[in-house]
Structure 1
Amino acid sequence: MPNEACGVLTCSHSSEMINQRQNGILSVDQIYPISNTAEHANQNFRFDPNDWITILYRIQKNRQSLVGIYHSHPSTNPLPSLADLEGMQYVPAVSYWIVSFPHLEQPDVQPYWYNRKTFTPLMLAKIGV
């Protein structure tokens, strides 16, 4: 705060995870923050290229799959904006999560499917062990 945070979401390469993904279920078990290098970081985000490459190698080394990317909206609702499209330059088709803080007490999380410059809302369910 007050800048937007950003990063990626991953899951392990287990057969259960692969079966869930084929059934349209995305599981997240690791979050990797990435530095925001946008010129106006309080209004949009851009992955730091060096962090992005480092995280991609770490994901591969740890035998994980990229599930999605996330970023925050420090003071607005979790709705994709034109600036968000610019931040999507590294990932052509992936889940896209916005964490917003319109009311500081409780964050609002909304995942989307991003493909070809289109955002489609996804249902969010928390499942834990």
Structure 2
Amino acid sequence: MTSSRLSLAADARDSILSHAREGAAGDPPAEVCGVLAGDSDARTVTAAHPVSNVAAEPRVAYELDPEETVSILEAIESAGDDAVGFYHSHPESDPVPSATDRERASWPGYVYLICSPDGRMTAHEWTGDEFRELSVAVE
């Protein structure tokens, strides 16, 4: 992946934002997360697959449920698509990588999309050392 742009299908964006708003409406609010599917070479996301957040402190962190994640990754591959990356929400803060996000990022070359319930979102590629911001084009 070399593009500095992420192409995000409108349906995928809507799914991510709906999921983020569900998490933000909880008491207490919680981060939500999932897997982004599409074409990794073109850095295009055509679908977002929600995954349960099993973090000990879901209000301020996310951890993808391992079994659900493996199942979704297998389904994406079986459909002939790629796992482009992951998404999660920040229900009470700006959609930028937090210190926790930086500490836990572990998939170099993959996209990490962060959104807030108000519709703002950012995308970043994890290089293995840092997040490199990508522009997001909704199509």
Q: Which of 84, 96, 99 is equivalent to 2:115?
A: 99
TM-score, length-scaled by structure 2: 0.74
Give 1:85 shift: 2.9
User: What do the CA deviations read for 1:65-94 (whole angstroms, capped 9, x no partner)?
Assistant: 1111100000100111121134434x2320
Q: Which of 56, 60, 65 is equivalent to 1:43?
A: 60
| Counterparts in 2 of 1:9 and 1:121: CA distance versus 1, 3 Å | same
| Counterparts in 2 of 1:48 and 1:28: CA distance versus 1, 3 Å | same
User: What do the CA deviations read for 1:26-80 (whole angstroms, capped 9, x no partner)?
Assistant: 2111111111000000100011111111111111111111111100000100111
- Indicate if the aligned counterparts of 1:45 and 1:87 stay in contact, CA closer than 8 A: no
> Following the alignment from structure 1 to structure 2, what is the Cα–Cα distance between the partners of residues 82 and 115?
15
> Following the alignment from structure 2 to structure 1, what is the Cα–Cα distance between the partners of residues 104 and 78?
25
Q: Which amino acid aligns with 1:92?
A: P
Please tell me whether residue 119 in structure 1 is matched to residue 119 in structure 2. Answer: no
Secondary structure of the equivalent of 2:115? strand
> Following the alignment from structure 2 to structure 1, what is the Cα–Cα distance between the partners of residues 73 and 91?
26
Please tell me whether residue 73 in structure 1 is matched to residue 90 in structure 2. Answer: yes
TM-score, length-scaled by structure 1: 0.79
Please tell me whether residue 3 in structure 1 is matched to residue 15 in structure 2. Answer: no
2:13 corresponding residue in structure 1: none
- RCO higher in structure (CA 8 A, sep ≥6): 2
> Following the alignment from structure 1 to structure 2, what is the Cα–Cα distance between the partners of residues 86 and 67?
20
Q: How much identity, in percent, do the aligned residues show?
A: 31
Q: Which has the larger radius of gyration?
A: 1
Listed as ranges, the gaps of 5+ residues in structure 2 are 1-23
Secondary structure of the equivalent of 1:117? coil
Q: Which amino acid aligns with 1:76?
A: S
Listed as ranges, the gaps of 5+ residues in structure 1 are none
What is the alpha-carbon root mean square deviation over aligned residues?
1.6
Alignment of 1:14-33 (within 5 A): 18=41, 21=42, 26-33=43-50
**Structure 1 residue runs of 4 or more that deviate by more than 6 Å after TM superposition:** none
